[in-house]
């Protein structure tokens, strides 16, 4: 059975509508209960799926509408972990005040001294998965459409990067390899549960791989007592071990970006520094790669992608409202085909539109124009989405 692959794809998170923001606020203030919040999410997701289908997508997502952000809800589903505030050194780069159509929001954000610092994970006991975290969300999504439902899960590297050995309890894991073995067991359990529920397309989100491009983030690895290249190789092995038992018909895509919150980012630079290790070493079916501006570098690193492994080019930015020219996107796809055959390429936005619940500084109208542009370009280049 062919593994799912779509010429027009999307990364996963989408802007929450105003009604859903209100429902979440009411829940946090104790004005509605969890059942009422989920009903609001159900309604918003149903409308979201309808709009994706109207655009022409053959793969649908739930927009991560039930999540606080792209990773926290999954990690909270594990036992043996605590989520704590990060440190200033891990802060994102804020977007320029004149970005996109919503420059007023960006300017206000800058004036207020906006700073996004991602939270960290501390392993305090044995890692366990008492019950699948994402299966109920997948089942609900698949029930809304006959098209392929994709589920996104955070990379296992998110459990280790910030803190390294110091972030893992010595009492629970005197041998760090026992920790990695339990991470693998948790991910295999989640993937198997998704497959049993009928899921055939799982996306792993891993912005942390690009941290090995950044001198600032590599310095964090060194300060924790590790060699950056050795840790990167360990992460590649960890990810491969997590997905090694997937079914032959299950597609695993991995999304590799440079951070995304309120149109800000963390890492900058092309993929060349990690291309041989990451593109050549990860045993995934396809990569979803950020290629929306100069921060992402050129297509030369794609020469390291093994023949037959597919690449989804994230050419459409989710950070700013300006709509990309179809002609420019088509030209860039053909530029990339010098390194990966055209039949192994696809197009998507560069990242999610709302990796955190607040969303990027972009309007819903701009979001949908961009998603429609992705589908239209895919149809022009490949004849289908």
Strand 310-316 to 345-349 pairing: parallel
Interatomic CA distance for residues 245 and 300, integer angstroms: 32
> CA nearest 150: which of 276, 38, 29, 58?
58
- In eight-state DSSP terms, residue 300 is G
Phi, psi of 251 (to 5 degrees): -90, 130
The two structure tokens encoding residue 223: 């300060």
47 neighbors 19 (Cβ within 8 angstroms) = no
Place of tokens 């124009």: 369
Interatomic CA distance for residues 259 and 280, integer angstroms: 22
- pLDDT score, position 106: 45
355 neighbors 260 (Cβ within 8 angstroms) = yes
Residue pLDDT, tens place only, 37-71:
999 999 999 999 999 999 999 999 999 999 999 99
Domain boundaries, the chain: 18-382
246 neighbors 201 (Cβ within 8 angstroms) = no
101 neighbors 366 (Cβ within 8 angstroms) = yes
The two structure tokens encoding residue 99: 């970005």
Residue 327 CB neighbours (<10 A): 10
Phi, psi of 318 (to 5 degrees): -100, 0
- pLDDT score, position 267: 74
Residue pLDDT, tens place only, 160-209:
998 899 999 999 999 999 999 999 999 999 999 999 999 999 999 999 99
Residue 245 CB neighbours (<10 A): 13
DSSP H helices in the chain: 18-28, 34-55, 72-76, 103-111, 135-142, 176-196, 215-223, 228-243, 272-281, 326-336, 364-382
- pLDDT score, position 144: 98
| Low pLDDT (below 50) residues in the chain | 103-104, 106-112
- Could you tell me which residues are beta bridge partners of residue 148? 59
Interatomic CA distance for residues 367 and 14, integer angstroms: 8
CATH fold of 18-382 reads TIM Barrel (3.20.20)
- pLDDT score, position 260: 80
């Amino acid at each position: 059975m062919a593994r799912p692959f779509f010429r027009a794809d999307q990364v996963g998170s989408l802007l929450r509508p105003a009604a859903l923001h209100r429902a979440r606020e009411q829940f946090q203030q104790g004005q509605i209960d969890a059942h009422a919040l989920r009903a609001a999410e159900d309604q918003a997701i149903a409308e979201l799926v309808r709009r994706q289908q109207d655009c022409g997508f053959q793969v649908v997502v739930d927009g991560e509408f039930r999540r606080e952000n792209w990773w926290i809800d999954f990690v909270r589903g594990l036992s043996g972990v605590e989520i704590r505030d990060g440190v200033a050194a891990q802060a994102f780069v804020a977007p320029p005040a004149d970005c996109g159509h919503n420059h007023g929001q960006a300017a206000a954000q800058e004036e207020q001294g906006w700073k996004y610092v991602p939270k960290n994970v501390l392993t305090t006991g044995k890692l366990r998965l008492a019950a699948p975290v994402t299966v109920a969300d997948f089942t609900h999504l698949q029930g809304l459409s006959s098209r392929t439902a994709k589920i996104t899960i955070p990379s296992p590297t998110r459990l280790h990067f910030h803190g390294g050995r110091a972030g893992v309890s010595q009492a629970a894991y005197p041998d760090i390899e026992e920790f990695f073995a339990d991470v693998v067991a948790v991910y295999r359990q989640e993937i198997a549960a998704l497959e049993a529920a009928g899921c055939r397309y799982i996306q792993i989100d891993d912005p942390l791989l690009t941290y090995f491009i950044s001198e600032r983030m590599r310095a964090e690895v060194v300060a924790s007592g590790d060699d950056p290249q050795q840790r990167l190789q360990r992460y590649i092995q960890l990810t491969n071990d997590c997905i090694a038992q997937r079914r032959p018909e299950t597609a695993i895509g991995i999304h590799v970006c440079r951070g995304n919150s309120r149109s800000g980012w963390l890492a900058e630079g092309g993929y060349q520094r990690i291309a041989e290790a990451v593109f050549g070493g990860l045993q995934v079916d396809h990569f979803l790669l950020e290629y929306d501006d100069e921060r992402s570098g050129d297509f030369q690193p794609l020469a390291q992608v093994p023949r037959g492994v597919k690449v989804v080019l994230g050419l459409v930015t989710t950070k700013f409202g300006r709509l990309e020219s179809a002609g420019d996107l088509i030209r860039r796809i053909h530029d990339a085909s010098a390194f990966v055959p055209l039949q192994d390429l696809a197009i998507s936005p560069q990242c999610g539109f709302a990796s955190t619940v607040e969303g990027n500084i972009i309007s819903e109208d701009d979001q949908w124009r961009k998603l429609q542009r992705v589908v239209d370009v895919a149809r022009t280049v490949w004849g289908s989405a």
